[in-house]
């Protein structure tokens, strides 16, 4: 096999439609554009979403839903993740910077600690929010949960 021998697979390519090249071609005269009107002429551009005068889909479909403008998004970190990170990294104090360094959260994200899993290491956790079960598990293991702003 050589570079000059390569060619597309059979049926992968098509001849281009040559329009407006005389009546004998079968596509002369109007060049498959129909007769008269803006669409038959050069320079025609329709609006985005225009469907030829038919009611556009964005107007046919009903509005629904609600986006809460004051919603606060948190990155969820479970107690089991804290246990694993504590064992892996040997960290006893968790802050948002620690979560970012460990890859549990991204920069600028708010962190909420949730109570899924078990913990048996006394650690100090500083996060933006905690679930009540997470606080209970951290304090039961001898740790401390602090909410930061």
| CA-wise closest residue to 85 among 128, 93, 141 | 93
pLDDT, one tens digit for every residue, the chain (149 residues) = 899 999 999 999 999 999 999 999 999 999 999 999 998 999 999 899 999 899 999 999 999 999 999 999 999 999 999 999 999 888 899 999 999 999 989 999 999 999 999 999 899 999 999 999 999 999 999 999 999 98
Q: Determine which helix (DSSP H) or strand (DSSP E) holds 75, and give its type and residue range.
A: strand 74-78
Q: What is the pLDDT of residue 91?
A: 86
Gap between the Cα atoms of 113 and 129, Å rounded? 6
The residues, any chain, with a CB within 8 Å of residue 116's CB and separated by 6 or more, are: 78, 79, 80
Region of residue 23 (phi > 0: left; psi between -120 and 50: alpha; otherwise: beta): alpha
* Coil/strand/helix, residue 129: strand
Domains of the chain: 74-147 (3.100.10.10)
């Amino acid at each position: 096999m050589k570079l000059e021998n390569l060619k597309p697979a059979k049926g992968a390519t098509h001849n281009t439609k040559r329009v407006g090249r005389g009546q004998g071609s079968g596509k002369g005269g109007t060049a498959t554009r129909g007769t008269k009107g803006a669409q038959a002429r050069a320079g025609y551009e329709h609006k985005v979403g225009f469907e030829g005068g038919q009611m556009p889909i964005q107007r046919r479909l009903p509005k629904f839903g609600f986006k809460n403008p004051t919603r606060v998004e948190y990155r969820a970190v479970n107690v089991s993740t804290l246990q694993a990170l504590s064992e892996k990294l040997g960290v006893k104090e968790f802050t948002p910077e620690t979560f970012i360094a460990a890859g549990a959260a991204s920069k600028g994200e708010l962190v909420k600690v949730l109570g899924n899993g078990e913990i048996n290491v006394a650690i100090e956790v500083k996060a933006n929010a905690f679930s009540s079960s997470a606080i209970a598990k951290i304090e039961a293991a001898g740790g401390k949960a602090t909410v930061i702003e």
